[in-house]
Every structure is written in C-alpha cells, then in structure tokens.
C-alpha cells in the first residue's frame, strides 16, 4: 500500500539532527505541501518540524516503524519553493546546518515550546460553573504547572470547551498578539433582543460589520457582559484574531511627489526597467556620486516592477537611519510599502509578513532580514550601499545579505541593482570585467560640485593641547554657526576615554572577560566593555598599588561633547551613537530634530555618515580618519575610503557647496589622498593592485576557520588539528588552497573564550568544503566557519 510520506527536519540546532526524518502524513492532512511547519513526535517529545518534501511510498519499505505527523501549523506553507531553495543554498555555501538556514525565515525561532502558559478566557466560562470558582477572576494566565494543579484532570476538557488557550501554541500558529473579536452567527428576531438596548445596538453594528474587535465596543458602552449574553443566545461568537500592529516608519515632514528625473536618472530607469521586463537574472551596479539621486531611480524602477504585476525588495544597511528613503517610498506608495527589520516586535513582523502573503504590500524595504520573506512574483531587488559591512551577519549563518540577495535574484529570475557612490572593490571589479552591468550617475542632481575636502595634518598639532577638534575645524564651525548652517562631526568610537591607566604603576583597567581595556562612559559614569557588554564602576584608586591618580587616555564621542560645550556653549549639539539611540525611534527623533533646525551640530560614530539627506548641512568634520584604516581586515582601506566619501557626501547637498575637514595622522596615505580628492577611480586602481599582489578578493576567495575554548591550549590544539587536516586535504584537492598557521585573533579572548584562527585563500572552495563536510573534525567540534569573512 502506498502512503504519503513527508521528509521532516526537526527544528532544533543539533549536529545529530542535521538530517531529515520520514513521517506518514495522515489522511486529514493529505493536501499538505512542502514548506509547511508541523508538529511531530521525536524521541518521545513533541517537536516542531518543517516538511521539506512529500513523496508517495510504501511505509513497509522503511526498516523502522514510521510515525504520523501529529498536526500541521500553517494553512499555507510557511516556506515557498524559492525560500526553500535559498535556504539550501545558504546552508551549502556558508556551511551551516540546514535548520540554521531555515530559521532565518522564521519569526519565532521555535514555534512550539515544550512548556505552555494557559490563557484563561473568562468570557467563555459559563457563570457559576465549577471552573469559575476554581481560581480568582483577576488571573489572566497560568503557567503549565499551576494550571495542572488547579484544573487537574479537567485541563483537556477546559481546552476543548475553549475556556483556556495554550498561549505558546497559539502564538506559534498566529505568531502575533491576538485580540478578541465578536463575529456574526445568525440573525436574531426583534423579540430576542427586546429587553436590552445595548444588545440591539450590538446587532445593529454586526449587521453591517460582520466582525468587530470587542475592544472597539467599549467606546459604544457595550460591555463584556453584553457581548457574553449576546453570544450565549447563539447570535454571535467570540473569535481571536491577530492584532493589527502594522506599522510604518513615517516622517510627517516629507510628502512624496515623484520627481522629474534628470537625463542620467531617466536613462538608468529605462535600462533597468527593460531588464525587469526580461524576467531573467542580471546584476547591475548603479554607481552614482553622493547626491546624484539614486533613491529616485530605485523608486521609479520599483514602480515599474509593480506595474508589471510584481513586487520589489529594497535592502538598506540600517533601516532606522535611512529615514529619508523609507519615508519617501511610504509617501509615494502608501500601504503598498512594508518594512522588515530587527527592531520590529514579533507581532509587527508577523503582520507585515502577512501583508506580503496577502498581496497587500508589494514593496518591501528592510535590512538583511527582509530577504527571508514570501515574496510574490519578485521582479526587482535593490541593495543600497552595497559595500556596507552591516549586510554581513556576525553569527552563524555568517551570510552576506548582498550575496544572498544575488542568489535570491537568480532564483527569482529578476535583476538585482547594487547601488553605491563608492562600490566595494569586488563589485566594481565585477562591473569592469563585464560580469555585471555598469550604470553610472556622474552628476549631482543640482549640479552642486562635490564638497571641498581639506586634509588637516594632526602630526604637527601641538598647540591645540591634544584636543579632538583642530583649530581650522573650530574656525569653520564658527563660520557655519554664524551663517545659520549645520554641521556633522564624525568620530568612530563611543565613550569618553578608551583607556584608564594608573599613573603610578601603569596598571590598565581591563574587562575581566575579554582581552581589551574598559572604555569610560562619562554620562553614565561607567566602565564598559565594547565586546561583551560587561560594566563596572570606575575605581577611585588603583587596585594594584592603591594610588589615586588615575589617568583617562584616548577618546570617544563623549569627549567631543565636552569640547563643543567649552568652545560653542551657545550651539545646540547632539550626540548620535549606539548609546544615545538605544531606545526605539530615538535615532529617528534625533534626525528629525536635526532636519527641523533644532540641532546645530550632530556628532557621533559612523551612524552620522549614513545616507541622510539633510538640508543646510554645510560642514563636515572627520576627526580621526585613521581609526578604521588601522583595523585588522583586508577591507580597511575600502571601508575608510567609503566612510570618508559617505560622510563628506552629507555636506552641501542642496545648492551651496559643502566644506569638509579631514583630520589625519597619515596625510600621505593613498586612501586619505584619493578620498580627499574624491577620486574613486584612482583609489580603485591602487587598491585592486594591492589585492592582486596580496591575493585577496576579488582575486582569491577567503575562508576563515576559528577554534574557541575556555582553555587557551585546547583552542590551539584544535586549531593545530585543523591545520594538519588542511595539509592533508591539499594533497587531494584539484584547486589547491593556501593557508596561514593558526593565529590568535586580534582580541584573542572575548567572553572568557580564546579564539584561534586559520585563514584560507583559494580560487574556489567547492572541493575543500566537501572534504570538510565529511570530516569528523568538523562534525564533532564547535568550530566557527566563516565563508567570505570581512
């Protein structure tokens, strides 16, 4: 006899479970499709699973007894075919367990919990029943154990009678907060309602609306008791629906009128629209100088995708900072736009996702997590600021959103537009070698020249007594404030002082869990570790020698605050970094204040450099251009060039030319020189030479393997094992790889773990990855594998 069999992956991250298991699909779920989440019994426990495929087979051919799927959790598969394909690719390319890749697509990592809370639905419990006397009316929900104690053997009965809801199960099915609605069942006769004017009122509402949130009835004076009485007569019933928490980020100041495209914009829109019509994959680099109006190109192309009956995905690096793009899109497309990013609540995510499923929203704007949605007929993907390192996820799966987006475009047969003023070296290389198409916007919309950038050599800056803001910058700020213009200052480090040191014995205050010194945050008067988040009260004496003279060295954004207060007491200045924007929407508020002339000087970390388009910003000060240049990554030069261009690009976007002062200790460095001249081509030529010489991407690919352990020697030994594995592997590989000896990470201890790495270079890793997959070393140990590390 043939039966429907489902291949199910258990939603638990465990090396042992990185495979599928077969289950019989019972008759009542016969129409279930691949991609559906389900409930199965596994090793004696109820587990959530994801059905990866459905086949017809004879259950007797298996050498073990197949179990049945207990329940299905979705009416429509959670995973579309494209989503499953993308998950398979992520797991294979980034070498993570398949379930980890699949989890990227889920809103609740695990829908089904083994512990439940029970919500008590008092309205459903008949007055005077034995259950109503069991517990206090003020109780709304109970933990599993308490519920078992109180309801005992009646627990199941109470669930069947809808006196209780299993909250966890409910939230996994609906995944969103629910609220009570009253729904029409049958038409009452006038005599049925004769004695209650409130019930008549309710009938009047239900006649037209059919279903109403109970919450809304309160305003009309219809109480819970009325609702209950009405339902008890059988004319209506109470149902639970996901709460509507659909939310837009809007900025009331902008009203979107589409613009008349410039000639360059027009050509770009035209070319991309033609690619949309072709419905096939093609990569495009839209290289447009800052202020050239890339946003308008994205918008018009998205509009074209919509007109062709499709949807469009716009990825931005940090959505809370791209106010202007999001609000512009929202003002033009209204409800057709939906947002997806990590700061949304689960309910908001669920509801926004539901809008996409229902086809109500066809333009999706979001950070990298927006890639994992059930798009309908995707016709365009845009990756704005494609070089941005925030597209890379720091934890497993360590994917790069830009590259996953490319794969999604391939799966969806649509073009992908990578936008940037300063493309990553890899992307520009691909464009120049014809792998992707190059479209350029060479002029700013208002033809304002790019800002004038002046290099200030900090090496001779003795007269300024170690201040962050140099004399010329101070003078420029004075002029800016006099002319009622605004300024942005960038310093790439938070806090007030980056090192505390005892001036007597030289003791340095370090994080107890990491191999880094504490950063002093003056506003909170705390020492903070920027790696693990540990905080500590600043000491008044040295714990080693007892001396009370403790010196604060180094600098951070809080130090600018102090200097500005001293130099410009009348100016309204505001810090803009992770510390000052930790609350929801606070970044938004600060940017709006800056836009509305309530702030004169905005200063902070690289957050100040992101694509804001704020009028009247004429001055930009980059306080230490070198801070990123010294970072231990092959991308340091590229990231420095990009940050300088981005930040400078905030100045003079209107009709007046902006002025930028670039403070540096390396004025002759090719990155600083070319960035100051805004000469991307020259920078590219130099950088691509270095990459070629040193064997870095785009010429060779990178893969980093990191071992970690509480014990330093254990981590080293493990790394040595891998080193030997690689030596052996290389003998078998067609495409040979080269690799370093094991080395401690620049910060070799974080959160009490030691990190020892090996960096591998090669033209491709296909064979190597296969060897790694089949090796017990990687099966049995927790090892970090970072494909395309940054």
Q: Could you tell me which of 195, 395, 760 has the C-alpha nearest to residue 771?
A: 760
Least CB distance to ligand ADP at residue 327 (A): 11
**513 near Zn ion, judged by CB under 5 A:** yes
Residue position matching structure tokens 């989440």: 37
Nearer to Zn ion, 530 or 691 (CB): 530
Nearer to ligand ADP, 296 or 579 (CB): 296
Q: Which does 511 bind (CB under 5 to 8 A by kind): Zn ion, ligand ADP, none?
A: Zn ion
Q: Which does 534 bind (CB under 5 to 8 A by kind): Zn ion, ligand ADP, none?
A: Zn ion
Q: Which does 295 bind (CB under 5 to 8 A by kind): Zn ion, ligand ADP, none?
A: ligand ADP
Least CB distance to ligand ADP at residue 587 (A): 18
Touching ligand ADP, residues 440-469 (CB under 6 A): 445
**331 near ligand ADP, judged by CB under 6 A:** no
Q: Could you tell me which of 227, 245, 112 has the C-alpha nearest to residue 180?
A: 227
Least CB distance to Zn ion at residue 527 (A): 10
C-alpha 291/C-alpha 286 separation (Å) is 13
Q: Which does 31 bind (CB under 5 to 8 A by kind): ligand ADP, Zn ion, none?
A: none
Nearer to Zn ion, 496 or 603 (CB): 496
Q: Could you tell me which of 80, 361, 342, 366 has the C-alpha nearest to residue 246?
A: 361
Touching ligand ADP, residues 237-276 (CB under 6 A): 259-262, 265
The answer to whether the beta carbons of residues 70 and 40 sit under 8 Å apart is: yes
CB half-sphere exposure, 46, CA atoms < 13 A: 13
Least CB distance to Zn ion at residue 531 (A): 5
Residue in 36, 292, 480, 498 binding ligand ADP, rule: CB under 6 A: 292
Least CB distance to ligand ADP at residue 379 (A): 21
Buried b (16+ CB within 10 A) or exposed e, 721-737: ebbebbeebbeebeeeb
Neighbouring-strand partners of residue 153: none
Which DSSP string corresponds to 449-505?
PPPEEEEEEGGG-TTTTT-SS-HHHHHHHHHHHHTT-EEEEE-S--SSBSEEEETTT
**514 near Zn ion, judged by CB under 5 A:** yes
The reply, when asked if residue 38 is annotated as ligand binding, is: no
Least CB distance to ligand ADP at residue 307 (A): 19
Q: Which residues touch 460 (CB under 8 Å, ≥6 apart)?
A: none
Which DSSP string corresponds to 302-319?
HHHHHHTT-EEEEE-S-G
Task: State how far the alpha carbon of 303 is from the alpha carbons of 25, 283, 333, in Å.
Answer: 43, 19, 9
Nearer to ligand ADP, 295 or 619 (CB): 295
Q: Which does 588 bind (CB under 5 to 8 A by kind): Zn ion, ligand ADP, none?
A: none
- Binding footprint of Zn ion, residue count (CB under 5 A): 7
Least CB distance to Zn ion at residue 529 (A): 3
Residue 433 backbone phi and psi in degrees, to 5 = -90, 10
Tell me how crowded residue 519 is: count the other CB atoms within 10 A of its CB.
Answer: 23
The reply, when asked if residue 542 is annotated as ligand binding, is: yes
Helix (H, G, I), strand (E, B) or coil at 72: strand
**295 near ligand ADP, judged by CB under 6 A:** yes
Q: Which does 610 bind (CB under 5 to 8 A by kind): ligand ADP, Zn ion, none?
A: none
The reply, when asked if residue 529 is annotated as ligand binding, is: yes
Please give the structure tokens belonging to residue 696. Answer: 């870095």
Q: Could you tell me which of 524, 523, 527 has the C-alpha nearest to residue 537?
A: 527
C-alpha 415/C-alpha 411 separation (Å) is 11
Residue 602 backbone phi and psi in degrees, to 5 = -105, 125
Least CB distance to ligand ADP at residue 293 (A): 3
Neighbouring-strand partners of residue 141: 119
Least CB distance to ligand ADP at residue 598 (A): 20
Q: Is 651 exposed, middle or buried (0-12, 13-18, 19+ CB in 10 A)?
A: buried
The reply, when asked if residue 511 is annotated as ligand binding, is: yes
Residue in 49, 188, 293, 556 binding ligand ADP, rule: CB under 6 A: 293
**487 near ligand ADP, judged by CB under 6 A:** no
Residue in 35, 49, 111, 288 binding ligand ADP, rule: CB under 6 A: 288
Nearer to ligand ADP, 261 or 415 (CB): 261
**385 near ligand ADP, judged by CB under 6 A:** no
Neighbouring-strand partners of residue 368: none
Q: Which residues touch 21 (CB under 8 Å, ≥6 apart)?
A: 7, 8, 9, 10, 40, 42, 49
The reply, when asked if residue 514 is annotated as ligand binding, is: yes
Touching Zn ion, residues 199-228 (CB under 5 A): none
Please give the structure tokens belonging to residue 143. Answer: 């933990």
Nearer to Zn ion, 344 or 527 (CB): 527
Residue in 117, 290, 323, 400 binding ligand ADP, rule: CB under 6 A: 290
Report long-range pairs for 271-276 (Cβ below 8 Å, ≥24 apart). 271/437, 271/439, 272/297, 272/301, 272/304, 272/380, 272/415, 272/417, 272/439, 273/300, 273/301, 273/304, 275/415, 275/437, 276/301, 276/304, 276/305, 276/308, 276/310, 276/379, 276/380, 276/414, 276/415
Stretch that binds Zn ion, among 11-19, 514-522, 646-654, 694-702 (CB under 5 A): 514-522
Least CB distance to Zn ion at residue 501 (A): 18
Per-residue binding string, Zn ion, 455-494, x by CB under 5 A, is ----------------------------------------
Nearer to ligand ADP, 405 or 445 (CB): 445
Stretch that binds ligand ADP, among 290-298, 365-373, 512-520, 574-582 (CB under 6 A): 290-298
**613 near ligand ADP, judged by CB under 6 A:** yes
Query: What is the distance between the terminal CA atoms of the chain, rounded to a whole angstrom?
Result: 54
Least CB distance to ligand ADP at residue 272 (A): 15
Please give the structure tokens belonging to residue 306. Answer: 């919509």
- E strands in 82-137: 117-120
Element (H, E) at 295: helix 294-307
Secondary structure letter of residue 371 according to DSSP: G
**642 near ligand ADP, judged by CB under 6 A:** no
- Binding footprint of ligand ADP, residue count (CB under 6 A): 17
Per-residue binding string, Zn ion, 521-550, x by CB under 5 A, is --------x-xx-x----------------
Nearer to ligand ADP, 259 or 376 (CB): 259
The reply, when asked if residue 727 is annotated as ligand binding, is: no
The answer to whether the beta carbons of residues 417 and 271 sit under 8 Å apart is: no
Neighbouring-strand partners of residue 6: 23, 54
Q: Which residues touch 278 (CB under 8 Å, ≥6 apart)?
A: 415
Least CB distance to ligand ADP at residue 449 (A): 14
Nearer to Zn ion, 510 or 701 (CB): 510
Stretch that binds ligand ADP, among 286-294, 426-434, 528-536, 667-675 (CB under 6 A): 286-294
Q: Which does 292 bind (CB under 5 to 8 A by kind): Zn ion, ligand ADP, none?
A: ligand ADP
Least CB distance to ligand ADP at residue 360 (A): 27
Touching ligand ADP, residues 645-664 (CB under 6 A): 653
Annotated binding site for Zn(2+): 502, 505, 511, 514, 529, 532, 542, 545
Annotated binding site: 502, 505, 511, 514, 529, 532, 542, 545
| Binding stretches for Zn ion (CB under 5 A) | 511, 513-514, 529, 531-532, 534
| Binding stretches for ligand ADP (CB under 6 A) | 259-262, 265, 288, 290-296, 445, 611, 613, 653
């Amino acid at each position: 006899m043939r039966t429907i069999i489902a291949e199910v992956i258990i939603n638990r991250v465990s090396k042992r479970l990185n495979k599928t298991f077969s289950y019989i699909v019972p008759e009542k779920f016969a129409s279930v499709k691949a991609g559906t989440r389900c409930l199965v019994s596994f090793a004696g426990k109820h587990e959530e699973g994801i059905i990866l495929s459905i086949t017809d087979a004879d259950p007797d051919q298996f050498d073990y007894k197949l179990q049945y799927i207990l329940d299905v959790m979705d009416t429509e598969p959670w995973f579309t075919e494209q989503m499953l394909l993308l998950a398979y690719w992520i797991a294979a390319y980034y070498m993570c367990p398949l379930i980890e890749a699949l989890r990227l697509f889920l809103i609740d990592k695990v829908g089904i919990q083994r512990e439940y809370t029970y919500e008590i639905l008092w309205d459903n419990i008949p007055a005077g029943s034995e259950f109503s006397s069991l517990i206090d009316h003020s109780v709304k929900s109970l933990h599993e154990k308490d519920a078992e104690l109180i309801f005992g053997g009646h627990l199941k009965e109470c669930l069947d009678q809808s006196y209780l809801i299993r909250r966890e199960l409910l939230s996994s099915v609906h995944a969103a907060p629910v609220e009570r609605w009253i729904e029409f069942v049958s038409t009452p006769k006038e005599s049925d309602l004769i004695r209650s004017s409130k019930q008549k009122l309710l009938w009047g509402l239900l006649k037209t609306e059919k279903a109403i949130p109970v919450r809304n009835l309160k305003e009309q004076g219809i109480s819970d008791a009325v609702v209950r009485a009405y339902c008890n007569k059988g004319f209506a019933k109470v149902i639970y629906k996901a709460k509507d928490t659909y939310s837009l980020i809007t900025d009331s100041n902008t009203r979107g009128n589409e613009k008349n495209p410039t000639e360059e914009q027009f050509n770009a829109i035209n070319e991309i629209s033609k690619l949309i019509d072709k419905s096939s994959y093609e990569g495009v680099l839209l290289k447009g100088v800052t202020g050239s109006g890339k946003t308008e190109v994205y918008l018009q192309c998205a509009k074209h995708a919509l007109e062709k009956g499709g949807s469009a995905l716009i990825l931005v690096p940090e959505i809370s900072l791209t106010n202007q793009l999001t609000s512009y899109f929202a003002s033009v497309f209204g409800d057709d736009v939906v947002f997806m990013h990590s700061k949304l609540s689960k309910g908001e995510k669920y509801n926004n996702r539901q809008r996409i499923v229902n086809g109500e929203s066809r333009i999706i704007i979001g950070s990298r997590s927006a890639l994992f949605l059930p798009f309908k007929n995707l016709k365009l993907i845009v990756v704005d600021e494609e070089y941005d390192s925030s597209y890379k996820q720091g934890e497993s799966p360590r994917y790069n959103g830009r590259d996953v987006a490319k794969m999604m475009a391939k799966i969806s047969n649509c073009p992908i537009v990578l936008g940037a003023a300063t493309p990553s070296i890899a992307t520009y290389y691909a464009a120049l070698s014809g792998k992707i198409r190059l479209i350029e916007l060479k002029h700013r919309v208002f033809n304002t020249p790019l800002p004038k950038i002046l290099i200030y050599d900090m090496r001779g800056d003795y007269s300024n007594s170690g201040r962050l803001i140099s004399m010329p910058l101070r003078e420029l700020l004075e002029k800016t404030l006099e002319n009622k213009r605004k300024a942005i200052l960038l310093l790439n480090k938070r806090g007030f002082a980056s090192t505390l040191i005892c001036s007597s014995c030289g003791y340095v205050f370090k994080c107890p869990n990491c191999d880094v010194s504490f950063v002093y945050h003056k506003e909170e008067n705390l020492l903070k570790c920027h790696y693990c988040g540990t905080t500590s009260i600043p000491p008044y004496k040295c714990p080693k020698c007892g001396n009370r003279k403790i010196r604060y060295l180094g600098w951070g954004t809080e130090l600018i605050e102090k200097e500005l207060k001293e130099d410009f007491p009348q100016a309204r200045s505001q810090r803009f970094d992770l510390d000052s924007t930790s609350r929801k929407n606070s970044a938004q508020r600060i940017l709006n204040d800056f836009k509305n002339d309530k702030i004169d000087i905005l200063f902070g970390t690289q957050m100040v450099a992101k694509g804001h388009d704020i009028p009247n910003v004429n001055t930009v000060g980059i306080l230490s251009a070198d801070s990123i240049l010294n970072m231990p990554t092959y991308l340091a030069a590229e990231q420095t060039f990009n940050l300088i261009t981005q930040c400078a690009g905030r100045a003079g976007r209107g009709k007046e030319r902006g002025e930028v002062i670039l403070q540096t200790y390396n004025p002759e460095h090719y990155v600083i020189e070319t960035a100051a001249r805004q000469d991307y081509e020259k920078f590219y030529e130099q950088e691509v030479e270095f990459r070629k010489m040193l064997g870095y991407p785009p010429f060779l690919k990178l893969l980093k393997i990191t071992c970690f352990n509480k014990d330093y020697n254990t981590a080293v030994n493990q790394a040595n094992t891998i080193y030997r594995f690689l030596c052996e592997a290389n003998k078998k590989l067609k495409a040979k790889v080269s690799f370093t000896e094991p080395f401690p990470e620049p910060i070799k201890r974080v959160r009490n773990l030691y990190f020892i790495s090996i960096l591998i270079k090669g033209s491709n890793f296909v064979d190597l990855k296969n060897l790694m997959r089949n090796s017990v070393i990687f099966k049995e140990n927790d090892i970090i594998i970072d494909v395309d590390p940054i």
